[in-house]
Amino acid sequence: MGTERTFPKGLTSASPRERCEYFRRIAIAHPVLVETDRALKLALTQSRPGSIVIVLGPAGVGKTTVLEHAENWMMERELAAMSAALGKVPVIRIEAVSDGLVQFSWRDFYRRTLIALDEPLVSRKLDPRSLQGIQQEGVRRFARRHASSGDLRYALELAYRHRQVEACLIDEAHHLAKVASGRRLLDQMDTIKSLANLTGVTHVLVGSYSLLDLANLSGQLSRRSTLIHFRRYRGDNVADVQAFKRAVFSFQRQLPLADEPDLLASFEYLMIHSAGCVGNLKDWLTRALEEAVSEGESLGLEHLERTALSLPQCRSISSEAADGERRMIPDESALEALAGLCGVTPASRERKPSTKSTSSRRPGSRNPNRDPVGT
């Protein structure tokens, strides 16, 4: 590991706010992040238009960071095309909002997406097809109303085409699962599927492991979807331990403090209370740094202990991660069940050949042996 600290010179004498803001903007590349980033870019370039890509993982693993990377990468890739067509918006990134209602609001989703596309007069959008058959005297009354969900959906389809959108990145997409009944779960994904299919825009859904409940609702959805697992680091994997240590050391080098803290000395404590997620680690170190600089001290174990997530919070994150990992990595019994559905007997269950030698003699023939001789 290097010996040079990497933050700008003179930053240690800056104000506490400037130092914390610098560290808050820091992002490091680590193996699982790089792997997930590569898989997402591959899906965006090689999947057919109108596909659905699902990126899922535990809380605080860094999913939003991957989305930001993908957005910046697509914008840079399309700079020449955007210069030629000034109205082109190759990618948009939005968040699926949960406002405490019983079910997810598609009207709010359409409205937010249109705003992200800088569409004017969003609340006044009308589907011209709905005006057919309206008598002349009723047009004014009809036009004064606010746009309905259907109006906004049609306006979004047109905006996708006119803006030449290639991908819509949806963060916190697990909020789509907020529905009033189990039957409507399939309706939620069918809405996304039809929107992607009609417009040719690839939709990337990013969220927690509960997205698995949406991805596996039907064969049609499974066929059109690409699953990308953004996993955490585990302490029972030697490679994961080394990668997480390197991440800790990288953050340690970036802390704008006069005295560099020894975070590696508390490595196990950091891994347990971050649930092996680099995003959680970064947020935690940011809180600890803010407390340390406000007190005019170097960052120590006492700052980490005071700003760590509580044990119930850590247990909740780790339990959800472990359950999601089990669902993403099926065991042998799941493979055998799938083979049974396909009418295939797995090799492990095939009848082994008998070790007894078989004879080619005709029925009724004597076994070869010696006849008795003498008396």
Residue-wise pLDDT tens digits, 261-286: 999 999 999 999 999 999 999 999 99
Residues 217 and 239 both lie in one domain: no
Of 207, 229, 251, the position where a domain reaches its end is: 229
Alpha-carbon gap, residue 212 to 304, rounded angstroms: 34
Residues 147 and 286 both lie in one domain: no
Q: Assess whether pLDDT exceeds 70 at residue 22.
A: yes
Q: Assess whether pLDDT exceeds 90 at residue 371.
A: no
**In-domain check, residue 372:** no
Q: For the chain, what is the radius of gyration of the CA atoms?
A: 29
Of 229, 258, 277, the position where a domain reaches its end is: 229
Residues 252 and 153 both lie in one domain: no
Nearest to 127 by CA among 99, 102, 156, 105: 156
Residues 286 and 194 both lie in one domain: no
- Characterize the bridge pairing of strands 91-95 and 202-207: unpaired
What is the model's pLDDT at position 144? 47
7-69-273 Cα angle (round to 5): 65
What would the pLDDT profile of 146-162 be if each residue is shown by its tens digit?
677 888 898 899 999 99
For 122, list phi and psi in degrees, rounded to 5.
Answer: -60, -40
Q: What's the whole-model pTM score?
A: 0.79
- Characterize the bridge pairing of strands 202-207 and 167-171: parallel
What mean pLDDT do residues 361-367 have? Answer: 57
Distance of CA 225 to the CA centre of its chain: 13
Cα 138 to Cα 54, 127, 132, 134, distances in angstroms: 45, 16, 11, 6
| The total number of structural domains that make up the chain | 2
Q: Assess whether pLDDT exceeds 80 at residue 218.
A: no
DSSP at 146: P
- CATH at residue 79: 3.40.50.300
What are the tokens at 97? Answer: 């909002």
Range of the domain at 52: 47-229
Nearest to 199 by CA among 151, 159, 170, 246: 159
